[in-house]
Chain A
Amino acid sequence: MKFMTAFRKEWLELIRTKRMLIALVVLVLFGMTSPLLAKMLPEIMTMVPGGEQFTMLIPPPTINDAVVQYVKNITQFGILLALLFGMGSMANERDKGTAAMVLSKPMPRITFLLAKLIAYTTLFTLAIVIAGIACYYYTYILFGKLEIMPYLEMNGLILLYLLVYVALTVLFSTLTKTQYIAIGMGFGVLILFGIVSAIPGWGVYTPDLLVANAGLIGTGGAPENWTGLWVSLGVISFSVTASFLVFRKQEI
Protein backbone atom coordinates (compact mmCIF):
# COMPACT_ATOMS: atom_id res chain seq x y z
CA MET A 1 0.00 0.00 0.00
CA LYS A 2 2.67 2.49 1.04
CA PHE A 3 4.88 1.25 -1.76
CA MET A 4 2.16 2.06 -4.30
CA THR A 5 1.74 5.53 -2.75
CA ALA A 6 5.47 6.16 -3.04
CA PHE A 7 5.68 4.61 -6.51
CA ARG A 8 2.75 6.69 -7.82
CA LYS A 9 4.50 9.83 -6.61
CA GLU A 10 7.75 8.83 -8.33
CA TRP A 11 5.93 7.92 -11.54
CA LEU A 12 4.00 11.20 -11.53
CA GLU A 13 7.27 13.04 -10.94
CA LEU A 14 8.84 11.34 -13.98
CA ILE A 15 5.88 12.48 -16.08
CA ARG A 16 5.55 16.02 -14.72
CA THR A 17 9.25 16.81 -14.80
CA LYS A 18 9.33 15.56 -18.44
CA ARG A 19 11.97 12.94 -17.60
CA MET A 20 9.76 10.21 -19.00
CA LEU A 21 9.25 12.14 -22.23
CA ILE A 22 12.98 12.81 -22.55
CA ALA A 23 13.91 9.15 -21.94
CA LEU A 24 11.30 7.88 -24.40
CA VAL A 25 12.09 10.43 -27.11
CA VAL A 26 15.87 10.00 -26.87
CA LEU A 27 15.96 6.19 -26.70
CA VAL A 28 13.13 5.61 -29.19
CA LEU A 29 14.71 8.09 -31.59
CA PHE A 30 17.97 6.15 -31.49
CA GLY A 31 16.02 2.90 -31.81
CA MET A 32 14.46 4.23 -35.01
CA THR A 33 17.46 5.94 -36.50
CA SER A 34 20.16 3.32 -35.77
CA PRO A 35 19.13 0.96 -38.62
CA LEU A 36 18.45 3.97 -40.80
CA LEU A 37 21.91 5.37 -40.11
CA ALA A 38 23.52 1.97 -40.82
CA LYS A 39 21.67 1.73 -44.14
CA MET A 40 22.28 5.31 -45.21
CA LEU A 41 25.92 5.64 -44.13
CA PRO A 42 27.38 5.05 -47.61
CA GLU A 43 24.91 7.56 -49.11
CA ILE A 44 25.66 10.05 -46.35
CA MET A 45 29.38 9.72 -47.08
CA THR A 46 28.83 10.63 -50.73
CA MET A 47 27.16 13.86 -49.63
CA VAL A 48 30.20 14.95 -47.63
CA PRO A 49 32.68 16.86 -49.82
CA GLY A 50 35.58 14.50 -50.51
CA GLY A 51 33.73 11.63 -48.90
CA GLU A 52 33.13 9.80 -52.19
CA GLN A 53 36.59 8.23 -52.04
CA PHE A 54 35.76 6.61 -48.69
CA THR A 55 32.57 4.95 -49.93
CA MET A 56 34.77 2.50 -51.76
CA LEU A 57 36.26 1.47 -48.41
CA ILE A 58 32.91 0.99 -46.66
CA PRO A 59 31.46 -2.48 -47.20
CA PRO A 60 27.74 -2.67 -48.12
CA PRO A 61 25.67 -2.32 -44.93
CA THR A 62 24.24 -5.50 -43.40
CA ILE A 63 21.62 -6.29 -40.80
CA ASN A 64 24.46 -6.71 -38.27
CA ASP A 65 25.53 -3.09 -38.79
CA ALA A 66 22.01 -1.98 -37.81
CA VAL A 67 22.15 -4.05 -34.62
CA VAL A 68 25.66 -2.89 -33.67
CA GLN A 69 24.68 0.74 -34.29
CA TYR A 70 21.61 0.29 -32.08
CA VAL A 71 23.54 -1.30 -29.19
CA LYS A 72 26.18 1.44 -29.33
CA ASN A 73 23.71 4.35 -29.45
CA ILE A 74 21.23 3.05 -26.86
CA THR A 75 23.90 2.19 -24.28
CA GLN A 76 25.76 5.49 -24.69
CA PHE A 77 22.70 7.71 -24.38
CA GLY A 78 20.99 5.38 -21.91
CA ILE A 79 23.93 5.71 -19.51
CA LEU A 80 23.81 9.48 -19.81
CA LEU A 81 20.10 9.46 -18.93
CA ALA A 82 20.63 7.00 -16.07
CA LEU A 83 23.30 9.25 -14.56
CA LEU A 84 21.31 12.45 -15.05
CA PHE A 85 18.07 11.03 -13.63
CA GLY A 86 19.65 9.20 -10.72
CA MET A 87 22.01 11.93 -9.52
CA GLY A 88 19.39 14.01 -7.70
CA SER A 89 17.06 11.17 -6.74
CA MET A 90 18.07 11.10 -3.08
CA ALA A 91 20.43 14.08 -2.69
CA ASN A 92 17.83 16.58 -3.91
CA GLU A 93 15.13 15.21 -1.63
CA ARG A 94 17.40 15.68 1.37
CA ASP A 95 18.90 18.97 0.21
CA LYS A 96 15.59 20.64 -0.64
CA GLY A 97 13.80 19.35 2.47
CA THR A 98 11.11 17.23 0.79
CA ALA A 99 12.54 14.06 2.36
CA ALA A 100 11.94 15.59 5.81
CA MET A 101 8.31 16.29 4.92
CA VAL A 102 7.72 12.69 3.81
CA LEU A 103 9.92 10.78 6.25
CA SER A 104 8.49 12.54 9.30
CA LYS A 105 5.41 10.50 8.42
CA PRO A 106 5.27 6.70 8.71
CA MET A 107 6.78 6.12 5.28
CA PRO A 108 9.36 3.33 5.64
CA ARG A 109 12.72 4.46 4.34
CA ILE A 110 13.21 1.26 2.35
CA THR A 111 9.88 1.92 0.59
CA PHE A 112 10.91 5.51 -0.17
CA LEU A 113 14.16 4.26 -1.71
CA LEU A 114 12.76 1.21 -3.51
CA ALA A 115 9.95 3.25 -5.09
CA LYS A 116 12.59 5.40 -6.79
CA LEU A 117 14.60 2.42 -8.00
CA ILE A 118 11.52 0.60 -9.30
CA ALA A 119 10.22 3.76 -10.99
CA TYR A 120 13.53 4.23 -12.86
CA THR A 121 13.67 0.51 -13.69
CA THR A 122 10.13 0.68 -15.11
CA LEU A 123 10.94 3.81 -17.08
CA PHE A 124 14.07 2.34 -18.67
CA THR A 125 12.29 -0.97 -19.33
CA LEU A 126 9.48 0.88 -21.08
CA ALA A 127 11.93 3.01 -23.08
CA ILE A 128 14.01 -0.02 -24.11
CA VAL A 129 10.87 -1.98 -25.10
CA ILE A 130 9.60 0.82 -27.34
CA ALA A 131 13.07 1.62 -28.69
CA GLY A 132 13.58 -2.10 -29.33
CA ILE A 133 10.29 -2.38 -31.24
CA ALA A 134 11.15 0.72 -33.27
CA CYS A 135 14.59 -0.63 -34.10
CA TYR A 136 13.18 -4.05 -34.98
CA TYR A 137 10.59 -2.50 -37.30
CA TYR A 138 13.06 -0.27 -39.16
CA THR A 139 15.62 -3.08 -39.38
CA TYR A 140 12.92 -5.35 -40.82
CA ILE A 141 11.95 -2.72 -43.41
CA LEU A 142 15.52 -1.84 -44.40
CA PHE A 143 17.40 -5.11 -43.98
CA GLY A 144 15.05 -7.99 -43.25
CA LYS A 145 13.94 -10.15 -40.35
CA LEU A 146 15.84 -10.41 -37.07
CA GLU A 147 15.73 -13.54 -34.89
CA ILE A 148 13.30 -12.74 -32.05
CA MET A 149 14.87 -14.61 -29.12
CA PRO A 150 18.45 -13.34 -29.57
CA TYR A 151 17.01 -9.85 -30.10
CA LEU A 152 15.12 -10.05 -26.80
CA GLU A 153 18.20 -11.38 -25.01
CA MET A 154 20.25 -8.52 -26.46
CA ASN A 155 17.77 -5.91 -25.23
CA GLY A 156 17.65 -7.60 -21.82
CA LEU A 157 21.42 -7.22 -21.51
CA ILE A 158 21.23 -3.56 -22.59
CA LEU A 159 18.58 -2.91 -19.94
CA LEU A 160 20.65 -4.64 -17.27
CA TYR A 161 23.67 -2.56 -18.27
CA LEU A 162 21.66 0.67 -17.81
CA LEU A 163 20.30 -0.54 -14.46
CA VAL A 164 23.87 -0.96 -13.19
CA TYR A 165 24.31 2.79 -13.60
CA VAL A 166 20.85 3.60 -12.20
CA ALA A 167 21.67 1.61 -9.04
CA LEU A 168 25.16 3.10 -8.75
CA THR A 169 23.96 6.69 -9.21
CA VAL A 170 21.15 6.23 -6.66
CA LEU A 171 23.76 4.89 -4.22
CA PHE A 172 26.02 7.89 -4.86
CA SER A 173 23.03 10.20 -4.49
CA THR A 174 22.28 8.58 -1.12
CA LEU A 175 25.86 8.90 0.05
CA THR A 176 26.51 12.49 -1.01
CA LYS A 177 25.05 15.84 -0.12
CA THR A 178 24.63 17.22 -3.62
CA GLN A 179 23.59 15.79 -6.95
CA TYR A 180 26.75 17.14 -8.61
CA ILE A 181 29.02 14.97 -6.48
CA ALA A 182 26.74 12.01 -7.24
CA ILE A 183 26.98 12.46 -11.01
CA GLY A 184 30.72 13.06 -10.71
CA MET A 185 31.08 9.73 -8.92
CA GLY A 186 28.87 8.08 -11.55
CA PHE A 187 31.08 9.33 -14.37
CA GLY A 188 34.12 8.31 -12.35
CA VAL A 189 32.92 4.71 -12.18
CA LEU A 190 32.02 4.80 -15.88
CA ILE A 191 35.58 5.90 -16.73
CA LEU A 192 37.06 3.38 -14.29
CA PHE A 193 35.15 0.50 -15.92
CA GLY A 194 36.30 1.80 -19.32
CA ILE A 195 39.95 1.80 -18.20
CA VAL A 196 39.67 -1.67 -16.65
CA SER A 197 37.99 -2.96 -19.82
CA ALA A 198 40.90 -1.67 -21.88
CA ILE A 199 43.36 -3.84 -19.92
CA PRO A 200 43.71 -7.12 -21.83
CA GLY A 201 41.86 -9.92 -20.05
CA TRP A 202 40.23 -7.64 -17.46
CA GLY A 203 37.24 -6.52 -19.50
CA VAL A 204 35.28 -9.63 -18.63
CA TYR A 205 35.12 -8.47 -15.01
CA THR A 206 33.21 -5.25 -15.76
CA PRO A 207 29.60 -4.56 -16.75
CA ASP A 208 30.98 -3.42 -20.13
CA LEU A 209 31.03 -7.10 -21.06
CA LEU A 210 27.23 -6.91 -21.18
CA VAL A 211 27.45 -4.49 -24.12
CA ALA A 212 29.96 -6.71 -25.92
CA ASN A 213 27.81 -9.79 -25.31
CA ALA A 214 24.64 -7.94 -26.37
CA GLY A 215 26.31 -7.02 -29.67
CA LEU A 216 27.52 -10.58 -30.13
CA ILE A 217 24.11 -12.12 -29.48
CA GLY A 218 22.38 -9.55 -31.72
CA THR A 219 24.69 -10.38 -34.61
CA GLY A 220 24.17 -14.13 -34.30
CA GLY A 221 27.13 -15.00 -32.08
CA ALA A 222 27.23 -16.92 -28.82
CA PRO A 223 29.20 -15.32 -25.98
CA GLU A 224 31.36 -17.70 -23.99
CA ASN A 225 32.21 -15.56 -21.02
CA TRP A 226 29.42 -14.33 -18.71
CA THR A 227 31.52 -13.04 -15.81
CA GLY A 228 30.39 -9.48 -16.53
CA LEU A 229 26.75 -10.52 -16.06
CA TRP A 230 27.42 -11.77 -12.54
CA VAL A 231 29.54 -8.73 -11.79
CA SER A 232 26.67 -6.49 -12.97
CA LEU A 233 24.10 -8.32 -10.84
CA GLY A 234 26.54 -8.05 -7.94
CA VAL A 235 27.03 -4.32 -8.48
CA ILE A 236 23.24 -3.76 -8.58
CA SER A 237 22.65 -5.87 -5.44
CA PHE A 238 25.50 -4.19 -3.59
CA SER A 239 24.37 -0.69 -4.59
CA VAL A 240 20.75 -1.25 -3.55
CA THR A 241 21.73 -2.88 -0.24
CA ALA A 242 24.33 -0.24 0.55
CA SER A 243 21.88 2.56 -0.32
CA PHE A 244 19.34 1.14 2.08
CA LEU A 245 21.81 0.47 4.90
CA VAL A 246 23.12 4.02 4.66
CA PHE A 247 19.73 5.67 4.21
CA ARG A 248 18.18 3.69 7.08
CA LYS A 249 20.37 5.46 9.61
CA GLN A 250 20.82 8.75 7.83
CA GLU A 251 19.68 11.97 9.49
CA ILE A 252 17.39 14.01 7.34
Chain B
Amino acid sequence: MIAIEVKSLVKTYGSVRALDGLDLQVPTGSIFGFLGPNGAGKTTTLRILAGLAKPTSGRVAIAGVELNTKTPKPSAKVGYLPEEPAFYPWMTPVEFIRYAGEIFNIHKAELTEKTNKLLALTGLGDVKKRKIGGFSRGMRQRLGIAQALINDPEILLLDEPVSALDPSGRKEVLELIESLAAKCTVVMSSHILADVEKVCDTVAIIDSGKRLVQDGKDTLMMRYATNVIELEIDPRQGRSIEAWKQVIFDLNGMYKGTVDGYTLRMTVEDIDTAQQAILAQLAMDKLPIVRLEQVKPSLEDVFMKLVNHKEAEL
Protein backbone atom coordinates (compact mmCIF):
# COMPACT_ATOMS: atom_id res chain seq x y z
CA MET B 1 0.00 0.00 0.00
CA ILE B 2 1.25 3.45 -0.93
CA ALA B 3 0.29 6.43 1.27
CA ILE B 4 1.92 9.07 -0.91
CA GLU B 5 2.80 8.80 -4.56
CA VAL B 6 4.76 11.54 -6.26
CA LYS B 7 5.58 11.16 -9.93
CA SER B 8 7.68 13.50 -12.10
CA LEU B 9 6.86 16.40 -9.80
CA VAL B 10 8.06 19.76 -11.05
CA LYS B 11 7.78 23.04 -9.19
CA THR B 12 9.21 26.22 -10.60
CA TYR B 13 9.49 29.69 -9.09
CA GLY B 14 10.26 31.93 -12.05
CA SER B 15 13.39 30.48 -13.60
CA VAL B 16 14.25 28.39 -10.52
CA ARG B 17 13.30 24.70 -10.63
CA ALA B 18 12.76 23.89 -6.96
CA LEU B 19 11.56 20.38 -7.87
CA ASP B 20 12.82 18.83 -11.06
CA GLY B 21 10.92 15.64 -11.81
CA LEU B 22 10.80 14.27 -8.27
CA ASP B 23 9.56 10.70 -7.72
CA LEU B 24 8.61 9.32 -4.31
CA GLN B 25 6.59 6.42 -3.00
CA VAL B 26 5.86 6.50 0.71
CA PRO B 27 4.67 3.10 1.96
CA THR B 28 1.65 3.14 4.26
CA GLY B 29 2.62 2.82 7.92
CA SER B 30 6.24 3.74 7.36
CA ILE B 31 8.27 6.40 9.12
CA PHE B 32 9.75 8.03 6.10
CA GLY B 33 12.92 10.08 6.42
CA PHE B 34 13.12 12.82 3.84
CA LEU B 35 16.70 14.03 3.48
CA GLY B 36 18.59 16.47 1.36
CA PRO B 37 20.97 19.42 1.61
CA ASN B 38 19.63 22.96 2.06
CA GLY B 39 17.58 24.02 -0.95
CA ALA B 40 17.11 20.45 -2.16
CA GLY B 41 13.32 20.87 -2.29
CA LYS B 42 12.21 19.13 0.93
CA THR B 43 10.07 21.99 2.26
CA THR B 44 8.58 22.67 -1.18
CA THR B 45 7.56 19.02 -1.48
CA LEU B 46 5.98 19.01 1.98
CA ARG B 47 4.13 22.27 1.25
CA ILE B 48 2.68 20.75 -1.92
CA LEU B 49 1.67 17.62 -0.01
CA ALA B 50 0.05 19.80 2.68
CA GLY B 51 -2.05 21.60 0.07
CA LEU B 52 -0.36 24.97 0.50
CA ALA B 53 1.41 25.12 -2.84
CA LYS B 54 0.49 23.74 -6.24
CA PRO B 55 2.72 21.68 -8.49
CA THR B 56 3.81 23.13 -11.83
CA SER B 57 3.45 19.66 -13.34
CA GLY B 58 3.55 16.02 -12.35
CA ARG B 59 1.29 13.81 -10.33
CA VAL B 60 0.78 13.83 -6.58
CA ALA B 61 -1.57 11.50 -4.73
CA ILE B 62 -1.86 11.63 -0.95
CA ALA B 63 -4.13 9.41 1.15
CA GLY B 64 -5.72 8.20 -2.06
CA VAL B 65 -6.57 11.67 -3.34
CA GLU B 66 -4.99 13.24 -6.42
CA LEU B 67 -3.90 16.84 -5.84
CA ASN B 68 -5.16 19.44 -8.22
CA THR B 69 -2.45 21.35 -10.06
CA LYS B 70 -4.59 24.49 -10.37
CA THR B 71 -5.92 25.05 -6.84
CA PRO B 72 -4.05 23.99 -3.70
CA LYS B 73 -6.32 22.04 -1.37
CA PRO B 74 -5.43 20.27 1.87
CA SER B 75 -6.60 16.81 2.84
CA ALA B 76 -8.58 16.16 6.04
CA LYS B 77 -6.53 12.99 6.52
CA VAL B 78 -3.22 14.82 6.75
CA GLY B 79 -1.49 16.51 9.69
CA TYR B 80 1.19 19.08 8.92
CA LEU B 81 3.93 20.70 10.95
CA PRO B 82 5.77 23.45 9.07
CA GLU B 83 9.46 24.12 9.64
CA GLU B 84 8.69 27.18 11.76
CA PRO B 85 5.21 26.72 13.20
CA ALA B 86 3.45 30.07 13.69
CA PHE B 87 0.58 30.84 16.03
CA TYR B 88 -1.60 33.76 17.01
CA PRO B 89 0.32 35.25 19.95
CA TRP B 90 -2.89 36.28 21.72
CA MET B 91 -4.19 32.70 21.85
CA THR B 92 -3.45 30.07 24.47
CA PRO B 93 -2.40 26.53 23.46
CA VAL B 94 -5.84 25.24 24.45
CA GLU B 95 -7.54 27.83 22.25
CA PHE B 96 -5.35 27.05 19.24
CA ILE B 97 -5.77 23.28 19.51
CA ARG B 98 -9.53 23.71 19.89
CA TYR B 99 -9.56 26.05 16.89
CA ALA B 100 -7.67 23.44 14.85
CA GLY B 101 -10.01 20.69 16.07
CA GLU B 102 -13.12 22.67 15.17
CA ILE B 103 -11.83 23.03 11.60
CA PHE B 104 -11.88 19.22 11.47
CA ASN B 105 -15.44 19.23 12.88
CA ILE B 106 -14.40 17.31 15.99
CA HIS B 107 -17.22 17.08 18.50
CA LYS B 108 -16.97 19.41 21.52
CA ALA B 109 -16.61 16.78 24.27
CA GLU B 110 -14.12 14.74 22.26
CA LEU B 111 -12.18 17.90 21.44
CA THR B 112 -11.76 18.83 25.11
CA GLU B 113 -10.42 15.38 25.90
CA LYS B 114 -8.12 15.34 22.87
CA THR B 115 -6.80 18.83 23.55
CA ASN B 116 -5.79 17.95 27.10
CA LYS B 117 -4.28 14.65 25.97
CA LEU B 118 -2.21 16.20 23.19
CA LEU B 119 -0.95 19.06 25.34
CA ALA B 120 0.08 16.59 28.03
CA LEU B 121 1.72 14.35 25.42
CA THR B 122 3.81 17.22 24.06
CA GLY B 123 4.77 18.47 27.52
CA LEU B 124 2.65 21.62 27.39
CA GLY B 125 0.13 20.64 30.04
CA ASP B 126 1.49 23.12 32.57
CA VAL B 127 1.39 26.08 30.22
CA LYS B 128 -1.83 25.33 28.42
CA LYS B 129 -3.48 28.56 29.56
CA ARG B 130 -0.51 30.85 28.94
CA LYS B 131 -0.41 33.16 25.92
CA ILE B 132 1.52 31.61 23.01
CA GLY B 133 3.19 35.00 22.41
CA GLY B 134 5.56 34.29 25.30
CA PHE B 135 6.54 30.80 24.14
CA SER B 136 10.08 29.78 23.18
CA ARG B 137 10.73 28.25 19.75
CA GLY B 138 10.91 24.82 21.33
CA MET B 139 7.51 25.26 22.96
CA ARG B 140 6.00 26.43 19.68
CA GLN B 141 7.48 23.36 17.99
CA ARG B 142 5.82 21.10 20.56
CA LEU B 143 2.53 22.92 20.09
CA GLY B 144 2.99 22.52 16.34
CA ILE B 145 3.25 18.77 16.80
CA ALA B 146 0.17 18.73 19.03
CA GLN B 147 -1.96 20.62 16.48
CA ALA B 148 -0.75 18.35 13.67
CA LEU B 149 -2.10 15.34 15.57
CA ILE B 150 -5.54 16.75 16.43
CA ASN B 151 -7.31 14.95 13.55
CA ASP B 152 -5.64 11.55 14.15
CA PRO B 153 -4.06 11.92 10.71
CA GLU B 154 -3.50 9.00 8.38
CA ILE B 155 -0.43 10.84 7.14
CA LEU B 156 1.70 13.14 9.24
CA LEU B 157 4.03 15.57 7.47
CA LEU B 158 6.78 16.92 9.72
CA ASP B 159 9.20 19.52 8.42
CA GLU B 160 12.25 19.54 10.70
CA PRO B 161 10.21 18.52 13.76
CA VAL B 162 13.07 18.53 16.26
CA SER B 163 15.25 21.34 14.96
CA ALA B 164 14.31 23.79 17.73
CA LEU B 165 14.32 21.36 20.61
CA ASP B 166 16.91 20.78 23.32
CA PRO B 167 18.41 17.26 23.60
CA SER B 168 15.83 15.98 26.09
CA GLY B 169 12.97 17.53 24.09
CA ARG B 170 14.38 15.98 20.94
CA LYS B 171 14.49 12.58 22.56
CA GLU B 172 10.89 12.87 23.75
CA VAL B 173 9.60 14.00 20.36
CA LEU B 174 11.53 11.28 18.52
CA GLU B 175 10.02 8.70 20.87
CA LEU B 176 6.61 10.19 20.19
CA ILE B 177 7.19 9.93 16.42
CA GLU B 178 8.36 6.34 16.82
CA SER B 179 5.23 5.53 18.82
CA LEU B 180 3.07 6.81 15.95
CA ALA B 181 4.42 4.14 13.62
CA ALA B 182 1.52 1.78 14.18
CA LYS B 183 -1.08 4.52 13.88
CA CYS B 184 -0.10 6.57 10.84
CA THR B 185 2.41 7.17 8.08
CA VAL B 186 5.00 9.75 9.07
CA VAL B 187 7.05 11.76 6.60
CA MET B 188 9.81 13.59 8.40
CA SER B 189 12.43 15.91 6.96
CA SER B 190 15.46 16.63 9.09
CA HIS B 191 18.98 17.95 8.96
CA ILE B 192 19.89 15.81 11.94
CA LEU B 193 20.64 12.54 10.22
CA ALA B 194 21.20 10.68 13.47
CA ASP B 195 17.56 11.39 14.36
CA VAL B 196 16.33 10.08 11.04
CA GLU B 197 18.50 7.01 11.46
CA LYS B 198 17.04 6.46 14.92
CA VAL B 199 13.34 6.55 14.01
CA CYS B 200 12.87 6.12 10.26
CA ASP B 201 12.50 2.80 8.48
CA THR B 202 12.45 4.18 4.93
CA VAL B 203 14.61 6.97 3.60
CA ALA B 204 14.66 9.15 0.50
CA ILE B 205 17.55 11.45 -0.28
CA ILE B 206 16.92 14.29 -2.70
CA ASP B 207 19.14 16.97 -4.15
CA SER B 208 18.39 19.83 -6.56
CA GLY B 209 14.76 18.79 -6.70
CA LYS B 210 15.51 15.22 -7.80
CA ARG B 211 15.49 11.97 -5.94
CA LEU B 212 18.94 10.49 -5.55
CA VAL B 213 17.78 7.34 -3.86
CA GLN B 214 14.89 5.83 -1.92
CA ASP B 215 14.87 2.56 -0.06
CA GLY B 216 14.62 0.90 3.32
CA LYS B 217 17.10 2.42 5.75
CA ASP B 218 18.99 -0.82 6.35
CA THR B 219 19.12 -1.64 2.65
CA LEU B 220 20.53 1.81 1.92
CA MET B 221 23.19 1.48 4.57
CA MET B 222 24.18 -1.92 3.28
CA ARG B 223 24.27 -0.78 -0.30
CA TYR B 224 25.92 2.61 0.00
CA ALA B 225 27.91 2.80 3.17
CA THR B 226 29.63 -0.48 3.71
CA ASN B 227 33.13 0.96 3.71
CA VAL B 228 33.45 3.61 6.37
CA ILE B 229 36.66 4.42 8.14
CA GLU B 230 37.54 6.78 10.93
CA LEU B 231 40.92 8.39 11.34
CA GLU B 232 41.79 10.09 14.62
CA ILE B 233 44.81 12.34 14.63
CA ASP B 234 46.88 12.91 17.73
CA PRO B 235 45.78 16.33 19.03
CA ARG B 236 49.25 16.92 20.47
CA GLN B 237 50.80 17.20 16.99
CA GLY B 238 49.84 20.87 17.05
CA ARG B 239 48.60 21.29 13.47
CA SER B 240 45.12 22.36 12.47
CA ILE B 241 43.02 19.51 11.12
CA GLU B 242 41.07 21.95 8.95
CA ALA B 243 44.09 22.64 6.75
CA TRP B 244 44.93 18.99 6.43
CA LYS B 245 41.55 17.27 6.00
CA GLN B 246 41.19 18.24 2.35
CA VAL B 247 44.43 16.42 1.53
CA ILE B 248 42.89 13.20 2.81
CA PHE B 249 39.47 13.79 1.22
CA ASP B 250 41.17 14.39 -2.13
CA LEU B 251 42.97 11.04 -2.12
CA ASN B 252 41.81 8.54 -4.75
CA GLY B 253 38.81 6.38 -3.84
CA MET B 254 37.71 8.67 -1.02
CA TYR B 255 34.32 10.34 -0.68
CA LYS B 256 34.19 13.58 1.25
CA GLY B 257 33.33 12.86 4.85
CA THR B 258 32.78 14.64 8.12
CA VAL B 259 35.10 16.11 10.73
CA ASP B 260 34.43 15.94 14.43
CA GLY B 261 37.21 17.33 16.60
CA TYR B 262 40.37 15.49 15.53
CA THR B 263 38.44 12.64 13.92
CA LEU B 264 37.83 12.32 10.20
CA ARG B 265 35.07 9.98 9.10
CA MET B 266 34.72 9.02 5.46
CA THR B 267 33.23 6.50 3.10
CA VAL B 268 35.77 4.86 0.82
CA GLU B 269 35.61 2.65 -2.25
CA ASP B 270 37.91 0.00 -0.83
CA ILE B 271 39.02 -0.25 2.80
CA ASP B 272 42.52 -1.71 2.20
CA THR B 273 43.41 0.66 -0.62
CA ALA B 274 42.15 3.64 1.35
CA GLN B 275 44.02 2.66 4.51
CA GLN B 276 47.26 2.26 2.54
CA ALA B 277 46.79 5.60 0.82
CA ILE B 278 46.02 7.36 4.09
CA LEU B 279 48.95 5.80 5.90
CA ALA B 280 51.29 6.77 3.07
CA GLN B 281 50.00 10.33 3.19
CA LEU B 282 50.35 10.43 6.99
CA ALA B 283 53.93 9.21 6.75
CA MET B 284 54.72 11.80 4.14
CA ASP B 285 53.22 14.58 6.26
CA LYS B 286 54.71 13.14 9.47
CA LEU B 287 51.38 13.24 11.27
CA PRO B 288 50.95 11.06 14.37
CA ILE B 289 47.60 9.29 14.65
CA VAL B 290 45.62 7.72 17.48
CA ARG B 291 43.65 5.27 15.36
CA LEU B 292 42.62 4.33 11.82
CA GLU B 293 39.83 1.78 11.68
CA GLN B 294 36.79 0.53 9.84
CA VAL B 295 33.57 1.54 11.65
CA LYS B 296 29.85 0.79 11.48
CA PRO B 297 28.29 2.91 8.74
CA SER B 298 25.63 5.51 9.52
CA LEU B 299 22.97 7.24 7.47
CA GLU B 300 25.16 10.31 7.42
CA ASP B 301 27.80 8.30 5.55
CA VAL B 302 25.21 7.31 2.95
CA PHE B 303 24.08 10.91 2.66
CA MET B 304 27.60 12.27 2.31
CA LYS B 305 28.55 9.65 -0.22
CA LEU B 306 25.46 10.14 -2.39
CA VAL B 307 25.34 13.93 -2.27
CA ASN B 308 29.08 14.37 -2.77
CA HIS B 309 29.20 11.72 -5.44
CA LYS B 310 26.59 13.68 -7.33
CA GLU B 311 28.60 16.88 -6.88
CA ALA B 312 31.69 15.12 -8.21
CA GLU B 313 29.74 13.96 -11.26
CA LEU B 314 28.71 17.54 -11.94
Interface residues of A (CB under 8 A from B): 1-2, 5, 9, 12-13, 16-17, 96-98, 100-107, 248-249, 251-252
The yes or no answer to B50 lying at the interface (CB within 8 A) is yes
CB distance from A245 to the nearest CB of B (A): 11
Contact A98/B86 with A105-B74, A106-B76, A106-B103 known, Cβ cut-off 8 Å: yes
With known contacts A2-B103, A104-B80, A105-B103, A252–B86 Cβ distance under 8 A:
no
Tell me how far the C-beta of B33 lies from the nearest C-beta in chain A, rounded to whole angstroms. Answer: 21
Partner of A13, one of B47, B84, B86, B88: B88
- Once A16-B90, A251-B53 are accepted as A-B contacts, the answer to whether A103 and B74 lie under 8 Å apart by CB is yes
Number of B positions contacting A (CB below 8 A):
32
| A249 contacts B52, C-beta separation under 8 Å | no
Which residues from 39 to 96 on chain B have a C-beta closer than 8 Å to any C-beta of chain A? Answer: 47, 50-54, 70-72, 74-76, 78, 80, 82, 84-88, 90-91, 95
Evaluate contact between A97 and B103: CB separation under 8 angstroms.
no
Checking A13, A17, A106 against B104 with a beta-carbon cut-off of 8 angstroms, the contacting residue is A106
Interchain nearest-CB distance for B300 vs A (Å): 30
Decide if A9 touches B99 in the complex (CB within 8 Å). Answer: yes
Report if A103-B52 is in contact (Cβ < 8 Å); known contacts: A1-B105, A5-B99, A248-B71: yes
Smallest CB separation, B11 vs chain A (Å)? 10
Hey, which chain A residues are within 8 Å of B51, CB to CB? 103-104
Contact B84 A97 (CB under 8 A): yes
Please count the residue pairs between chain A and chain B whose beta carbons lie under 8 angstroms apart in the complex. Answer: 76
Q: Within 8 Å of chain A (Cβ to Cβ): is B267?
A: no
Q: CB distance B53 to A101 under 8 Å?
A: no
Among the interface residues A9, A12, A104, A249, which one has the most CB atoms of the partner chain B within 10 A? A104
In contact, A252 and B52 (Cβ under 8 angstroms): yes
CB distance from A9 to the nearest CB of B (A): 6
Taking A1-B105, A5-B102, A101-B144 as known contacts, 12 extra A-B pairs with beta carbons closer than 8 A to each other, sorted by chain A number, are A2-B105, A16-B90, A97-B82, A98-B86, A100-B82, A101-B147, A104-B50, A104-B74, A105-B103, A249-B54, A249-B71, A252-B72
Q: Which residues of B contact A248 (CB under 8 A)?
A: 71
List 9 tightest A-B contacts by C-beta distance, closest first: A97-B86, A16-B90, A104-B80, A5-B102, A104-B50, A252-B52, A251-B53, A105-B103, A106-B76
Task: Provide the residues of chain B in CB contact with A13, threshold 8 Å.
Answer: 88, 90
- Chain B residues closer than 8 Å to A104, beta-carbon distance: 50-52, 74, 78, 80, 82
Measured CB to CB, the closest approach of chain A to B303, in angstroms, equals 27
Smallest Cβ distance from A106 to chain B, in angstroms?
A: 5
User: Please, which residues of chain B bring their CB within 8 A of the CB of A2?
Assistant: 102-103, 105
CB-CB < 8 A to B103: which residues of A?
2, 5, 102, 105-107
- Residue with the highest number of chain A CB atoms closer than 10 Å, among B52, B84, B103: B103
Task: Please give the distance in Å from A15's CB to the nearest CB on chain B.
Answer: 9
In the complex, A249→B80 CA distance in Å? 20
